[in-house]
A = this chain, B = another copy of it.
């Protein structure tokens, strides 16, 4: 991998010539604008068996800690944040989807915020393209549930569908809940926008959306797993190839420093807190027992690791970043 031709990457010919000819180094040129602060592209690749998984980040949104957790004192939440060396005033909730590449087939799990999220989000497409993909290549988009930060990337505000060639696959119970007009009519005002958002994204293509029952295989090696509570039809997805396994946990937890560590805490986003809590305990227990690699949509990028038991809860041990895929 290392040869002399790489010498050119190390030094421009002109600079080398100057030093060689004069023995005197020129003053360092001023920093180019290109060196202005820009973060590295937010994608990360790893293998699960023969499949190549690419995590694609969609930035983050900040929200105040106060009022975020229904059943814990603010001081306890702040203590959990401090223990993770995170700020105690606000939480940065990040968004990371997965692209699963199985041979020439691309399956996308959730879509990010599109142009409908916080100003600090909306970077998904840039990262997706930086990873070498184009939207036309996506064969199917599979959704975990219908909250805006997971579905809005499917359709821009102007109505454009993002993935022109993709089959759209959703959990049937999630569809049944959000597309029920009577339920929308009876919903409290504060929830009306969520129902309308689902219709904005899926309404024009409703006839073509494929609804699957939890437990069904949505693509070769990708199987849905019922994980209700966060929303009525919330699903995880098990990605399997050979002996490799990865569980896309979606919103089984929000930020792991809070909810993997304290699985009984309920974020205000959990629509049925009791069911969500039971699902969370059950699936974290299973991941810990079976040492299954997991992905959480709201874990710090690249949002993947393993679950270890810790006290009365668990902890997420991030996978070691590697330069080789």
* A11 at the B interface (CB under 8 A): yes
State whether A137 touches B31 (Cβ < 8 A). Answer: yes
Tell me the A4-36 residues at the B interface (CB within 8 Å).
Answer: 4, 6-7, 9-12, 15-16, 18-19, 25-32, 34-36
Question: What are the interface flags for A57-90 relative to B under an 8 Å C-beta threshold, 1 for contact and 0 otherwise?
Answer: 1011000000000000000000000011110000
State whether A37 touches B15 (Cβ < 8 A). Answer: no
Task: For A138, list chain B residues within 8 Å (CB).
Answer: 28
Pick from B18, B26, B30, B115: contact of A6, CB below 8 A. B115
* A160 at the B interface (CB under 8 A): yes
With contacts A2-B115, A323-B120 taken as known, whether A308 is within 8 angstroms of B165 at the C-beta atoms is no
Interface centre among A25, A34, A320 (most CB of B within 10 A): A320
Pick from B9, B16, B156, B162: contact of A164, CB below 8 A. B16
Complexed CA–CA distance, A129 and B9 (Å): 9
Complexed CA–CA distance, A130 and B301 (Å): 19
State whether A35 touches B131 (Cβ < 8 A). Answer: yes
State whether B11 touches A92 (Cβ < 8 A). Answer: no
- For the complex of A and B, 10 pairs with smallest distance between CB atoms: A34-B132, A28-B165, A37-B325, A85-B306, A300-B320, A35-B132, A301-B321, A2-B115, A1-B119, A59-B323
* A317 at the B interface (CB under 8 A): yes
State whether A137 touches B15 (Cβ < 8 A). Answer: no
With contacts A30-B104, A57-B323, A92-B320 taken as known, whether A137 is within 8 angstroms of B16 at the C-beta atoms is no
Instruction: Please name the residue on chain B nearest to A29 by beta carbon.
Output: B136
Task: For A43, list chain B residues within 8 Å (CB).
Answer: 40
Complexed CA–CA distance, A60 and B133 (Å): 27
Complexed CA–CA distance, A131 and B84 (Å): 28
State whether B52 touches A45 (Cβ < 8 A). Answer: no
